[in-house]
Structure 1
Amino acid sequence: MTEISRLFLALITGALVVSFAGGASAKPRQERPKPKSAVESAQTAPAPLPRQFFAEKGVQPLTPELEQALRPKDSFKECDTCPEMVVVPKGSFMMGTPANEPDRFKGEDPIHRVTLARPFAVGRFAVSFDEWDACLADGGCGGNKGDDNGFGRGRMPAQGINFEAAKSYLAWLSKKVGRTYRLPSESEREYFTRAGTTTPFWFGNTVTAQLANYQASTPYGSGPHGPDSKGPAVVDSYAPNPFGLYQVHGNVFEWTEDCFNKRYTEDTPTDGSPWLEGDCHKRILRGGRWNWSANMLRSGYREDSIVDGGGFSFRVVRTLNVQP
């Protein structure tokens, strides 16, 4: 190798050494990850699973600490024969039905906003005969056996219950548990029936015999004909709505606390409380019935009955001591 070649080779090697040394001494540059938006975080974070707090035997009311920690869709039973309660989130909704809703009736207007400032708990099901009979066995409910009309008891919805009889069950349950159980207001009933929806039914613009228990030979809107129901169904039939509540449409009419008024007015409560003015010898019913047509199952449909009228059922509510 000539002297010139050796010098050229040494220059190239030196340059390579400098290049690698410079690269090794440089700190690697790391980009700071961009913070995720609240929407992205909500989409990626798994939703917490609902929790259950059930009394295994006897009476076990929620402690104040546990009650404060409840989240929407959590459920509890405060005694072994008590109704299962589901936590419903706070929120607001437009109560009533629009003028273009098929088969609407007078009295479902004007549409108005109702805001429920706190979560509350609702019976997952209508009160069953099992639960009603537990009241009777404990000396409550005034000895009123209701009327199953030959359809059976057990997990069938308690029927033949007038307004005062429903209140006697609530008085027995409240005393047994040491917490206040009550009927829903009419606005609460529509709120947890809709469960965030604005359509005539929580599952959409029409109804089929696979979605609710009713007289399906009379269709609703563009919905299909179906077979008529032969009787009430057990309380855990059909799919629950987005709040986790069963049969908010059809099967049995349910009492609310509200007195009868022909339509909403400027005096209608907008905070979820019951309307206790008007004809209080009549009370509002909601939900529809197994042998009534589909238009009377709608979320906004209003029915009424005298307080000593039988043939109906009810669902219980419990106010929760939680932060707004």
Structure 2
Amino acid sequence: MSPFTTRRTHAVASAFTEPLEGLNEAIPLDMILVRGGTFMMGSPEDELDRKVSEGPQHLVNVPDFFMGRYPITQAQWRVVAEMGQVNRPLPVDPSNAKGLDRPVEQVSWYDAVEFCARLARLSGRPYRLPSEAEWEYACRAGTQTPFSFGKILTPKLANYDCRKTYNGGPKGDWRRETTPVAQFGIANAWGLCDMHGNVHEWCQDHWHESYEGASADGNAWLTDNEGANRVRRGGSWADAPRHCRSAFRDYPLPGNRSTYIGFRVVCSAPRILP
């Protein structure tokens, strides 16, 4: 596994590496065990730059699951995109900013779902996009601050529009494109990297204007409208730090492709874990 610094203060996370032939020296697909638990989803009303759609805060109980340590990289994407299709073809090299260990981008929600279906067929494991609740739970890693690193975000921690600041944080040079997923060499307390900035990440959920009526079981919140806008999380290289907060959420159409959007995969954990 790739070396990284983590803010973890207790046991190292359990993990496995999904074998993908042809990655050579590229970053492997490391899957980190996220232990389930209950957390307060959404942002408090006094959080700086909070959006109405981030509330009301509500308790959610999330079961155990595995999540990719990083967003899916261009090397990982290529391996899976060259496999036979399940439901739809995939572009082999869609990204604008090239680099094997940079996150794949310019992929739609439908593309990301197809990637998961191919990976599930290859591995025999139930790969999918994270639910919005799983994503925020994993991003927060036990915190309730705007970022998993605290109340500010700095150019040493993430790739975002560093010309802009949040809560008095420092400015920096805007990188103007994606960076390799392991560039910052730091993870949150649960061993996950690049949750703030670099690329937005697709979630399973259909968009809802608020959490009124949301379930508390951690599952994706869906409607009967297959054309509904989907949720994306995490902010990107082009976003101000306020859009990289743990609670921030946005709602592009599922067919949208842009240099700002990628994704990471999750895999449901066995019912009984050691």
Q: Is TM > 0.5 for Structure 1 vs Structure 2? A: yes
Matches within 5 A, 1:1-324: 50=12, 73-81=13-21, 83-116=29-62, 118-140=63-85, 142-149=89-96, 151-238=97-184, 239-266=186-213, 268-277=214-223, 280=226, 281-311=228-258, 312-323=261-272
Higher helix share: 1
SS of the residue corresponding to residue 121 of structure 2 reads: helix
Distance 1:47 1:101, change over 3 A: closer
Q: Contact (CA 8 Å) 1:184, 1:317: kept in 2 or not?
A: yes
Aligned to 1:305, the other structure's residue is in SS state coil
Paired residues of 1:92 and 1:113 also in contact (CA < 8 A): yes
8 A Cα contact 2:73 2:103, kept in partner:
yes
Give the aligned residue type for 2:112.
A
**Deviation at residue 47 of structure 1 after TM alignment:** 6.2
The amino acid of 2:115's aligned partner reads Y
d(CA) in 2 for partners of 1:146, 1:167: 17
Give distance in 1, aligned partners of 2:251 and 2:81. 27
Return the alpha-carbon distance in structure 2 between the equivalents of residues 79 and 228 of structure 1.
Answer: 35
What residue ranges of structure 1 are gaps of 5+ in the alignment? Answer: 1-45, 51-72
Distance 1:90 1:109 in 2: 22
Aligned residues: 253
Q: Is the 8 A contact 1:260 1:278 kept in 2?
A: no
Q: CA RMSD in A?
A: 1.8
Q: Distance in 1 between matches of 2:263 and 2:215?
A: 21
**2:99 and 2:180 in contact (8 A); partners too:** no
Pair 279,94 (structure 1): closer, same or farther in 2 beyond 3 Å? farther
Identity of aligned residues (%): 33
Q: Distance in 2 between matches of 1:146 and 1:313?
A: 13
Deviation at 1:131, TM superposition (A): 0.6
Contact 1:237–1:246 (8 Å) recurs in 2 = no
| Cα deviation code 1:72-93 (max 9, x no counterpart) | x111123234721000111111
Instruction: Look up the equivalent residue of 2:20 and give its one-letter code.
Output: D
Give the direction of change, closer, same or farther, for the CA distance of 1:218–1:47 in structure 2 (3 Å limit). Answer: closer
- Deviation at residue 179 of structure 1 after TM alignment: 1.4
CA contact (8 A) 1:129 1:156 kept: yes
Unaligned runs of 5+ in 2: 1-8, 22-27
Q: TM-score, normalised on structure 2?
A: 0.88
Shift of 1:254: 0.4
**Shift, 1:279, TM fit:** 5.6
CA distance in structure 2 between the partners assigned to 1:206 and 1:229 by the alignment:
19
Q: Tell me if structure 2 keeps the 8 A contact 1:121–1:320.
A: yes
Matches of 2:242 and 2:10, distance apart in 1: 35
Contact 2:78–2:93 (CA under 8 A) maintained in structure 1:
no
CA offsets per residue over residues 93-117 of structure 1, 9 Å max, x none? 100111111111121110000011x
**2 CA distance for matches of 1:245 and 1:213?**
15
Contact 2:20-2:79 within 8 A present in 1 as well: no
